[in-house]
Amino acid sequence: MGNFNLERLQHHILICHGSSCKRNQAEEVTAAIREEIDRQKASSILVTRTGCLKRCSNACNAVVYPKGIWYKEMTPGSGRKLIKKLVKGKLMKKHISYDIGQNKAT
């Protein structure tokens, strides 16, 4: 796989792969996000599977850094939409559960 070029990194997406998120399509969400990154040629976005993010009632969860925006109830379709939004510099407001920069839940 090699080393990811961190100099071009704009977004790092952490996708929960804890047990609740796995039951709520974590694998499919991860695959859809990676496919959309390839489709959009968005080489500035890195995706990492994580262990439990401790927000099981919001499964499947994803967090986008560096802004620290937590997304809930992700599906393969919303994962693809997230990448399209990030490429355009926008947020996917419908799925935001927490914004670290604002220190508030939405």
pLDDT tens digits, 8-65: 899 999 999 999 999 999 999 999 999 999 999 999 999 999 999 999 999 999 999 9
pLDDT confidence bin for 101, thresholds 50/70/90: confident
- How many of the other CB atoms lie within 10 Å of CB of 104? 8
pLDDT confidence bin for 2, thresholds 50/70/90: low
Write the CB contacts of 89 (distance below 8 Å, at least 6 apart in sequence).
Answer: none
For position 4, what pLDDT does the model report?
72
Task: Of 36, 29, 35, give the one whose Cα is nearest residue 14.
Answer: 29
Residue with tokens 């804890």: 18
Q: What is the helix (H) or strand (E) element at residue 28, kind and residue range?
A: helix 26-40
- How many of the other CB atoms lie within 10 Å of CB of 56? 15
